[in-house]
Amino acid sequence: MSTTQTPPVLAAELAQAWADIQRYHPELPDLAAPESLIGESSSACGHELSFERLLHEAVHGIAAARGVRDTSRAGRYHNRRFLAIAEELGLDHPDEPHPSSGFSLVSLTPEAKRRYRPTIERLQRALKAHSAATAGDTARSFRGPAARHGSSGGGVRVKAVCDCGRNVRVVPSVLAQAPIVCGGCGKPFRIREGVAAAAG
């Protein structure tokens, strides 16, 4: 399996899993760029990409749709408003919040595991295929100090813009895997040439 083909396949599976969540929670906004979750890590939201992590991100999506401020401390501390929405989506948390990340360390309830079993199994297969296809790349590619030290992002982020002027911060290697499409204008985000050269 080619590593250049895997990210779009994984992105499609992430988009399908997101749609499965939307079936139960219609107010959840569309996932504009599933590719942005691939290779990303965040100590506050969970290091490993999984269905549980995707459901965690969906909590943030619903909070945004409702205009609810669900985090503080630059997005690290997940408050009780986050926890309330997490419980609606089938996530549970120990009684006491974590001192630095609050209620971010959520886990699937047994009911949510049953509800999403086919989705979880499908996504796990796609993640395993992605890991197997990209395992050989890690020994030969340099991912920068962020990846070596386990900090979030896996590399230096630069600004990518679309035709309507919106922008996102992205690791260039993530954008190179597959286009990230703007939900506003439908055009792909691009890194300006001078910025891309500096980042490379």
What are the tens digits of pLDDT across the range 25-64? 999 998 877 767 765 555 455 556 889 989 999 999 999 9
| Contact status, residue 54 vs residue 91, Cβ threshold 8 Å | no
Which of 150, 20, 143 shows the shortest CA–CA distance to 89? Answer: 20
* Residues 85, 157, 198: CA angle, nearest 5 degrees: 170
Question: CA end-to-end span of the chain, whole Å?
Answer: 26
CA distance 58 to 154: 22
> For residues 54 and 183, which has the higher predicted lDDT (pLDDT)?
54
pLDDT at position 28, please?
92
Q: What is the 8-class DSSP label of residue 169?
A: E
pLDDT tens string 96-121: 888 888 888 899 999 999 999 999 99
Predicted confidence at residue 100, as pLDDT, reads 85
pLDDT confidence of residue 122:
92
Task: Tell me the average pLDDT across 14-19.
Answer: 91
Alpha-carbon distance of 179 to 102, in angstroms, equals 34
- Report DSSP state, residue 32: S
Average the pLDDT over 17-31 and give the result: 92
> In whole angstroms, how far apart are CA 162 and each of 23, 33, 167?
29, 13, 6
Look over the chain and give the mean of its residue pLDDT values, rounded to a whole number.
Answer: 77
Whole-number Cα distances in Å, 153 to 128, 149, 174: 21, 11, 10
Tell me the percentage of the chain whose pLDDT exceeds 70: 70
Quote the pTM value: 0.63
- Find out whether 34 and 18 touch, Cβ atoms under 8 Å: yes
| Calpha distance 152→164 (Å, rounded) | 28
